[in-house]
Every structure is written in structure tokens, then in C-alpha cells.
Amino acid sequence: MSAENVSDIPKADEGHRVYVGNLSFTATEQQVREFVAPAGGEILSVNLPLRFGRRPAGYAFVSYKDEADAKKVVEQFNDKELGDRKLRLEIAKPAEEVAELRKAKDEKRKVARDAAKAAKAEAAATAKESAPADAEVTEGENKTKKKSKKSSKKPRRRLPGEGEEGEAAGETSESASKARIDVNGADGEAKTEEKKARAPRPKKERQPRLALTGEESKNTIFVANLPFNVDDEGLAAIFTNLSINVKSAKVVKGIRRARPGSRPFRASKGFGFVELENESQQTEAVEKVEGTLVGDRNITAKIAKEMKPIEVEQAVEAETA
């Protein structure tokens, strides 16, 4: 099994696992079960991981109760075709070995990053040392010249006979300044009156608040611990890949900030609700989805509680009182 497949290994305590590679992205759990069924043996689970929490990764894990059955299915069906693809079957690596591979891979990446940073710092230091020292002197001289030019400007000496004209000019400037103030003030008042004259925006109708009733829903499942990159389609795919018919799937979103002071944006809150087409599949869906690995998280699933508006609940209580 290649290193890129290591990150989506399912739970380590699920018996003896068989890796099934080169699957079609449209393959379902039922198709995988039917493919390996002729080999016999008790199958504990079939898991089709998702890549980036959104679409099928193109491989699966089939867990058997007995090791002999796992080896038998590999011998019989390795290089056999499902649809138009030749599948690759092999015994999955133990969890301990997977952890070691992941650790070695992370260490290798860290060494590469540190080496790149060191090379960049060394190149910057070399460039700084090789830069000509007189460049700094020239820059300093240019700044001094600019300052001296600004300071060399002196007020022109007033000639005889210019006093009265200067005063007249001063009066004209002052009156013009007052005129500007008056114009701006009038304009500001006009804008204020215009704002006041605008009709107020209609208030949005407030949505009724919801409260849990304590009753279990007949066809809705609550899913938590989802990776934040899983959207509505990705949530639905988790169930459809397990042969569960989905009516609708909704990931709950809220206002988040990347860091304090940054612009807020709407993003996943890490949980959602899935409404099933068939009520009879509710218990089966919870059992299959509970503990499934999506990305780097084991998600949880349970039957959702019914919700109803608080106002309705209060009205019912008032009527029965």
C-alpha cells in the first residue's frame, strides 16, 4: 500500500483488514461486498474513505473476523476486475507500522523545510554583504539635498507699495475661506436632511427560535466531529458510499474569524444533519457511520432530536395549564 493511502486508514481494532485499491470513484459499499463475497468469510465492515472529506478516494478497506479469510480473498481476487478496473488487493498494514510511516514522513518534510529556510537565510546574508557600501552613502546624500532644498525657500521680501494689496489679498482669502465653510456647512445640512427624509428599512421578520422536544426523529441523523472542509455534498457522500439513501444533508455554518480583528466569514461548525429517504435505514446508518474516518477525524453519528418553535411550545403549555 502506497504512502499516500496511509492517512485514511480506518480504525485499528476492526479485525483483519484487506486493502482494495484502484476502485472506481462511483463504487459503493454494496458493490465491494458483492465482489469479495464468493471468497466467503465473515465481513465485519467495509469502509470507503473520502479524500479531503469530499469525494471518494478510490480505494476501500474490508475487515474480516479471521485472518485466514482475509488472506484467502487477497489470493482469489487480486488483479481481478470490477467494472472496467483491475483491482489490487493486499493485507493492510498494522496500525503501529502506519504510525511509524506517518512519523517518518513528517520528519522528512520537517528536515526539508528547515533546509530550505537555512538556504534562504544564507542567500539573504550573502546578498547583504556583497552590496556596495557607497550605495548607502549616496542615498544619505540625496536625502540631505532634498532637505536643504526645502529649507532654502524663504518668503519673498515685500516691495514698497505692496502692503495694502497684501491686506486686500488677505481679506479676500479670509472671505473665500468663510464662503467655503458656509458652502460645506449648507451641503452637510442638506445631506443630513436627505438621510432623515429616507424611509426606514422594513424590519426582517424574526424567525421563531427552536427548542429540542426530547423526542427522537424518525429519519434524521446528527453527525458531529466533521472536518471543517466537508460541505453538504461531502456529508451526503459519506452516507451514499455506505448504500444509505439520502434525502437531504446540511452542514451547520456560523460566523468565524481567521484571527482576531480579521474579516468575519461563514464556515462549517463541524457538525450537520442528514435526512434519510427511508426511515427503516436509520438504525443501520447510525451503526455504519459511527466511528468512520473522514480526513483525519473519526466522526460520530446518532439519531437526531426533534425540534419545534419555542413560541409554539409556550402556546401549548398555556392551553394545557
pLDDT at 156: 63
For domain 210-320, which architecture applies? 2-Layer Sandwich (3.30)
Ramachandran sector of residue 67 (left: φ over 0; alpha: ψ -120 to 50; beta: rest): alpha
195 pLDDT exceeds 90? no
Q: In which band, very low, low, confident or very high, does the pLDDT at 55 lie, cut at 50, 70 and 90? A: confident
What is the per-residue DSSP string for 281-307? GHHHHHHHHTT-EETTEE-EEEEEEEE
pLDDT at 12: 47
pLDDT at 148: 55
Cα–Cα dist 31/85, whole Å? 13
Kindly list the domain boundaries of the chain, sorted by start residue: 3-98, 210-320
pLDDT at 57: 85
Distance of CA 219 to the CA centre of its chain: 28
Q: Which residue has the higher pLDDT, 150 or 199?
A: 199
Query: Exposure pattern of 193-232 as b/e (b: 16+ CB <10 Å)?
Result: eeeeeeeeeeeeeeeeeeeeeeeebebbbbbeebbeebbe
* Closest of 3, 227, 1 to residue 103, by C-alpha: 3
**Of 55-64, 92-101, 189-198, which gets the smallest average pLDDT?**
189-198
> What are the residue ranges of helices labelled H in the chain?
29-36, 67-77, 95-130, 134-152, 163-197, 232-240, 282-289, 310-320
Q: CATH topology of 3-98 equal to that of 210-320? A: yes
pLDDT at 157: 61
Query: What's the average model confidence in pLDDT over 278-297?
Result: 90
pTM of this structure = 0.39
**Of 128-132, 263-267, 304-308, which gets the smallest average pLDDT?**
128-132
Three-state DSSP class for 213?
A: strand
Q: Which amino acid does the sequence have at 31?
A: Q
Laid out side by side, the sheet with 43-47 consists of: 43-47, 60-64, 16-21, 88-91
Count of CB atoms within 10 A of residue 176's CB? 10
Query: What's the average model confidence in pLDDT over 181-205?
Result: 60
Q: Which residue has the higher pLDDT, 37 or 190?
A: 37
Q: Which residue has the higher pLDDT, 274 or 110?
A: 274
CA torsion sign for 122, 127, 129, 130 is positive
Query: What's the average model confidence in pLDDT over 6-17?
Result: 58
Count of CB atoms within 10 A of residue 130's CB? 7
Q: Which amino acid does the sequence have at 64?
A: Y
Q: Which amino acid does the sequence have at 44?
A: L
188 pLDDT exceeds 70? no
Q: Which residue has the higher pLDDT, 15 or 88?
A: 88
Q: In which band, very low, low, confident or very high, does the pLDDT at 33 lie, cut at 50, 70 and 90? A: very high
For domain 3-98, which architecture applies? 2-Layer Sandwich (3.30)
pLDDT at 94: 76
pLDDT tens, position by position, 112-158: 888 888 888 888 888 877 765 545 555 555 555 555 555 555 566 65
pLDDT at 98: 72
206 pLDDT exceeds 80? no
Question: Which burial class, exposed, middle or buried, applies to 48 when counting CB atoms under 10 A from its CB (0-12, 13-18, 19+)?
Answer: buried
- Percentage of the chain beyond pLDDT 70 is 66
Three-state DSSP class for 58?
A: coil
Q: In which band, very low, low, confident or very high, does the pLDDT at 248 lie, cut at 50, 70 and 90? A: very high
- How high is the mean pLDDT of the chain? 76
Cell output for 26: 462511483
